Structure 1
Amino acid sequence: MRDTTVTEPDVTDSDDAPTHKPSRVPWAVAAAALVALGLIPWFVAAPGDKDTSAVPSTASADAGFARDMAVHHQQAVEMSFIIRDRTSDEDVRRLAYDIAQTQANQRGMLLGWLDLWGLPKTSSGYMAWMKGDGHMGHEPKDGSLMPGMATNTELDQLGKAQGKDAEILYLQLLTGHHMGGVAMARACAEQCEVPQERQLAQGMVDAQQSEMKLMADMLKERGSAPR
């Protein structure tokens, strides 16, 4: 089974991206930055404050979404780096770079929230936080931990494909990946309690739906379609 441990992605490429290495900043500086940007309210910025009523519980939708979407995003970043090495098409490479940058940044934000809340970053049950049966019917296997995620076999296929074949497979896998991500983000937009997290989730819904339309057009140009 593919190692699902999440690591900090290096969203760089010596050919077409500026060199940037993630830095380790003190917790207080990171917290202050998130608060200043309005990405986390001041009253939940510091775990252990006297007023902890606004800090989500480990079983909450807020924490569950942050944990699960961090894993979901990590695979999109991985696939985007794979395709940038398998094609010379500038449109596909540009899309892959944009997705890698955006989702790596969002993933860092989600993990940062979990740090600030003093909650674990690993999940004992993917998507268990979602109300209703939206998470049912998916059996984690072959590296596909949540709906939309590619399997290890599909990732291996992408890593071996070249040119147009690689472009089509990437666009198809990312379309399915986005569909699963949109369902998760929509659930958080409805269920999460922290306003900033709901806002981020809704932004994911809007952006990924737009990207799915773009990818459908790109697939059509290549004589293919979403799966």
Structure 2
Amino acid sequence: MSAALSRRARWAVGSAVALAVLFAGAATVASARGDAAASAPLTPAADSADAGFARDMAVHHQQAVEMAFVVRDVTDDEDVRRLAYDIAHTQANQRGMLLGWLDLWELPKTAPEGQGPMAWMPKDAHSGHAMHDMKGAGGAENMDGTAEMDRDGALMPGMATRTELAELRGARGKQAEILFLQLMTDHHEGGVAMARGCAERCAVPVEKRLAQGMVEAQQSELDLMADMLAARGAAPRP
């Protein structure tokens, strides 16, 4: 990787992490203060967008953390390892916040009976790029236009399958770097679609702010990963 790209990588990752920490910190402070804007509504319903996003994004983030730790151990590339560390650190912290809100709301961390992943998103949101991500992860489209995720462990937009995770664990060096960047690009694109959904549909202001922070931070990392792939003679997956 060129020195210029390496400097850009450090700046972009640092900016994305700083933005994520800023939004996470603001969310934590607002929640702790219990101000009126951040506390209404006090308790979302179990089938609300707020609860659904918190449950689903916690699972989504957990896989990103897992992939970051995998690639950290199979490459010596400083920029990829730094990106992986920052993704793991940021998303682990955000996951803790999401699960903490579910505890605060006294809501289960699993979906209500009969409600699968992404049920909090309306059918029209399961189109375009989000639907493409879900199909690409192994889902099948139902008659009503929603996506039936299953399959091989990919439950939500952009998530890697078990087969892809096994391939990442078995890769080394440049091959591992490219595969990680491609999988994480898909993962971020799915995550951005989900976060936009919460920013539009969630009712709890502090959660809406966190979701918007995720959109902005992950979009910055998407731009960075495109540059990192190009530097390795590769590109995001179609």
TM-score scaled by length of structure 1 = 0.79
Q: Would you say 1:212 and 2:190 are equivalent positions? A: no
Q: For 1:69, what is the secondary structure of its paired residue?
A: helix
Q: Which among 106, 120, 124 is matched to residue 133 of structure 1? A: 124
The answer to whether the Cα contact below 8 Å between 1:61 and 1:191 also exists between their aligned partners in 2 is yes
Note the alpha carbon deviations across 1:50-99, whole angstroms, 9 max, x for none. Answer: x9963100000000000000000000000000000010000000000000
SS of 1:39's partner is helix
Matched, 1:80 2:90: no
8 Å Cα contact 2:159-2:187 kept in structure 1: yes
- Which residue does the alignment assign to 1:8? none
Which of the two has greater helix per residue? 2
Q: What is residue 42 of structure 1 aligned with on the other side?
A: 34
Question: Does the 8 Å CA contact 1:168/1:224 hold for their aligned counterparts?
Answer: yes
2:196 equivalent among 186, 201, 204: 186
Equivalent position of 2:88 in the other structure: 100
- Deviation per CA, 1:167-207: give whole Å up to 9, x if none: 00000000000010000000000000000000000000000
Q: Is the 8 A contact 2:199 2:208 kept in 1?
A: yes
Offset at residue 37 of structure 1 (A): 1.1
Distance 1:52 1:132, change over 3 A: same
Is the alpha carbon distance of 1:41 and 1:58 closer, same or farther for their aligned partners in structure 2, counting shifts above 3 Å?
A: farther
- Which protein has greater RCO, CA pairs closer than 8 Å, 6+ apart? 2
Partner SS, residue 88 of structure 1: coil
> Which aligned segments of 4 or more residues in structure 1 are displaced greater than 3 angstroms?
33-36
| Kept after mapping to 1: 8 A contact 2:27/2:209 | no
Q: Does 1:171 align with 2:163?
A: no
Which consecutive unaligned segments of at least 5 residues does structure 1 have? 1-32, 45-50
- How far apart, CA to CA, are the structure 2 residues paired with 1:201 and 1:36? 13
From 158, 165, 181, the equivalent of 1:155 is 165
- The answer (yes or no) to whether the contact 1:35–1:42 under 8 Å persists in 2 is no
1:54 aligns with 2:46: no
CA deviation after TM superposition for structure 1 residue 42, in Å:
1.9
CA distance, structure 2, for counterparts of residue 119 and residue 138 of structure 1: 24
Q: Determine what percentage of the aligned residue pairs are the same residue.
A: 67
Task: Give, in whole Å, the separation in 2 of the partners of 1:198 and 1:53.
Answer: 12
The answer as to 2:97 corresponding to 1:109 is yes
Gaps of 5+ in 2: 1-24, 127-145
**Using the alignment, how far apart are the partners of 1:184 and 1:110 within structure 2?**
14
Structure 1 residue 134 displacement after superposition: 2.1
- What is the number of residues matched between the two proteins? 189
